[in-house]
Chain A
């Protein structure tokens, strides 16, 4: 007991420093958590959170039907693709950027960041501009080479690739920036020593840069895994133009919930879907955090 107290006292300065933010999180994130009762209630505005009747798991039921398995599969597989491809591409680009002089880096970074600003709705028009079977640029090029036009919007098979490309395109600048900043924080002495030992650039990247930015890579990946059951609604809804012919590969949990509840507009059911996605994500994160701890205790997230 006194040992705890003693530690508390000795670390008090650090706690005090962090306290404002801790309080902030408590007020704005923990206080509203009473809303988590919503999925278990038949919500009535007049009765409010306290007095609306409990209805058990009824609000969750619409998510479960054997016809819906492909939706969960699409969500998880597409997110897994996004996470893995993004991390590889972004780290690689950041490493290359790190090799260059300051001025060039600034220009490239700014350009790569442009797509981050463009909403998915606008992206959907750009994609349409490329892929439309009559006026699309891709089909015009195909025609120029004497090939038949491809009906992209009728063929679900192409869409995992199209969505991955769109996703990488939009977030490349964002992710790269983060890994680049992490590289910035590495002590230049490491590289000097390595150069004196005659290490090549590739060796420097592999043996110094990547290990030293590993904490950031792990954090980014683990945090994205937490959202693996959530899907980027704008991407899957707008970019596919909510085209039913593409559902076999593009229908995900969020687009399904949107369609199912558009008419009913039920608060309880939509929050039930959200809670379901959170709990699944939470389990996956706790498991991966545990696995990381087994390999390297140092890198555990919590």
Chain B
């Protein structure tokens, strides 16, 4: 029995090592390319090892180091604030509609789902944010409009459904109010689920470039991804308008793209373990009951 379990585990590990290798090969290609010489890539193609070592792409990024630091700061603040506030809003709503004894649950689920498919579009949102809420060129524009994500609310509903109703009834009999039930029972029991959604929210804020480009003008509010996005598109544009301007021949386009990617992925290695702390097996219903 134990023997077979060991063999099974070994097999599963082997499977994951192969899978991870497959997943990671393209990424190694990207990493290698970011350290390559531009012409090396063009001549010989992408490879898992740098084609002629060069730091040109990173130098180009570092040229803008002041902005890079500012952008990191804005991004970290919006990510943190957006994730914490968003999680509170979404978990409360997700919890309410997950309760089988809550009659408005279905109606509210539809109310939420509807917004996933039907949106008013860019112009009404822009008018709302800039003219009615006066958030243009403020940090609020970067996270307030997207605090509640319908998809994640419905997902939380699914997660929270696995908490047995009996628990809530017991708590009620003990005289606990809804707020107490939520903070004392739901949050501890649903930690892995909340952490998951928190991670996804954090990624959403981290990756967002569009709100920054749309709602802000001042460089102090340019998020990291928006800044990288701008540098990339302008570099592409440089090669289009050549006839009336300078030569773009010397710009390390291909390698720069890859360096941008590396810079954007880097923080993942810091963020991930933080959320993974909450992925604990064994936080069981039994533990709470006892």
Is A–B contact present in the complex under a CB 8 A cutoff?
Answer: yes
**In the bound complex, how far is the Cα of B43 from the Cα of A135, in angstroms?**
8
Contact status B284-A181, CB under 8 Å: no
**In the bound complex, how far is the Cα of B99 from the Cα of A134, in angstroms?**
59
Contact status B182-A122, CB under 8 Å: no
Contact status A282-B158, CB under 8 Å: no
Contact status B179-A17, CB under 8 Å: yes
Chain A interface secondary structure, helix, strand, loop or mixed? helix
Interface residue? A197 (CB, 8 A): no
Q: Number of A interface residues at 8 Å Cβ cutoff, please give it.
A: 96
Interface residue? A141 (CB, 8 A): no
For chain B, residues 245 to 290, give those with C-beta under 8 angstroms from any C-beta of chain A.
254, 257-258, 260-261, 264-265, 268-269, 272-273, 276, 279-286
For chain A, residues 255 to 302, give those with C-beta under 8 angstroms from any C-beta of chain B.
267, 271, 274-275, 278, 281-282, 285, 300-302
Q: B260: shortest Cβ distance to chain A, in Å?
A: 8
Known: A14-B102, A110-B269, A115-B26. A184 touches B8 (CB 8 A): no
Q: A183: shortest Cβ distance to chain B, in Å?
A: 9
**In the bound complex, how far is the Cα of B26 from the Cα of A116, in angstroms?**
12
For B177, give the chain A residue with the smallest CB separation.
A13
**In the bound complex, how far is the Cα of B120 from the Cα of A267, in angstroms?**
12
Query: What 0/1 readout, one digit per residue, does chain A (95-134) give for beta carbons within 8 Å of chain B?
Result: 0110110101111111111111111011101101110101
Return chain B residues, CB-CB under 8 Å to A97.
Answer: 16
**In the bound complex, how far is the Cα of B9 from the Cα of A97, in angstroms?**
10
Partner of B30, one of A25, A32, A122, A227: A122
Q: B15: shortest Cβ distance to chain A, in Å?
A: 7
Interface residue? B57 (CB, 8 A): no
**In the bound complex, how far is the Cα of B129 from the Cα of A101, in angstroms?**
47
Partner of B121, one of A117, A130, A187, A271: A271
For chain A, residues 134 to 155, give those with C-beta under 8 angstroms from any C-beta of chain B.
134-137
Query: What 0/1 readout, one digit per residue, does chain B (162-185) give for beta carbons within 8 Å of chain A?
Result: 110000000000000111001000
Interface residue? A64 (CB, 8 A): no
Q: Number of B interface residues at 8 Å Cβ cutoff, please give it.
A: 102
Interface residue? B221 (CB, 8 A): no
Interface residue? B123 (CB, 8 A): yes
Q: B58: shortest Cβ distance to chain A, in Å?
A: 16
Q: A70: shortest Cβ distance to chain B, in Å?
A: 24
Q: B131: shortest Cβ distance to chain A, in Å?
A: 12
Selecting from A75-83, A215-223, A246-254, the interface stretch reads A215-223
Contact status B90-A21, CB under 8 Å: yes
Contact status B148-A33, CB under 8 Å: no
Known: A13-B178, A18-B92. A181 touches B279 (CB 8 A): yes
Known: A18-B97, A185-B192. A109 touches B23 (CB 8 A): no
Return chain B residues, CB-CB under 8 Å to A67.
Answer: none
Interface residue? B110 (CB, 8 A): yes
10 contacts between A and B (CB under 8 A): A18-B96, A21-B148, A33-B118, A130-B26, A169-B22, A185-B192, A215-B161, A215-B162, A300-B106, A301-B113
Given contacts A112-B23, A114-B27, A172-B23, 6 further A-B contacts (CB under 8 A): A32-B124, A109-B276, A125-B33, A181-B193, A216-B158, A223-B113
